[in-house]
């Protein structure tokens, strides 16, 4: 019965395209490559990080947001824990360890909701984390 229900899900992109977008996104943080990250997003993408803060809209605004992380030598180590794909969306659970020179590492447990457009670009990304997520 559950497999039948899953068989009714419609999508404009394949699960493999969604997985590739998620992997590319995490790799871009691991490699500190904002250009590769930006290439994954639609021109009019919306990014909420975390949800409840003012959304960042459009690629140029995304690059401005990411530029703040370039101001200080920072290393990001994302580790994917779970990926659930439904239609054009994915729920991604991962741990992100952030290391800044001279500061103890910080680890954040994050859930992100990715929605891809028909071209396979990230159209909307919503990051869920709160104070209890940070160690």
* Number of Cβ atoms within 10 Å of the Cβ of 21: 21
Q: What domains, with CATH codes, occur in the chain? A: 10-133 (3.10.450.50)
pLDDT tens per residue, range 103-122: 999 999 999 999 999 999 99
d(CA 81, CA 10) in angstroms, rounded, equals: 25
Q: How confident is the model at residue 1 (pLDDT cuts 50, 70, 90)?
A: confident
Residues counted in the chain: 135
Q: How confident is the model at residue 6 (pLDDT cuts 50, 70, 90)?
A: low
């Amino acid at each position: 019965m559950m497999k039948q229900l899953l068989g009714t899900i419609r999508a404009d992109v394949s699960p493999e395209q969604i997985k590739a977008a998620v992997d590319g996104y995490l790799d871009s943080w691991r490699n500190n490559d904002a250009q590769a990250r930006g290439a994954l997003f639609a021109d009019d993408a919306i990014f909420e990080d975390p949800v409840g803060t003012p959304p960042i809209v459009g690629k140029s605004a995304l690059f401005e947001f990411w530029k703040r992380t370039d101001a200080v030598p920072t290393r990001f180590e994302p580790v994917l824990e779970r990926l659930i794909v439904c239609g054009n969306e994915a729920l991604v659970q991962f741990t992100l360890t952030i290391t800044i020179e001279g500061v103890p590492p910080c680890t954040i447990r994050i859930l992100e909701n990715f929605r891809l457009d028909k071209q396979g670009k990230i159209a909307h990304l919503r990051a869920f984390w709160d104070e209890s997520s940070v160690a």
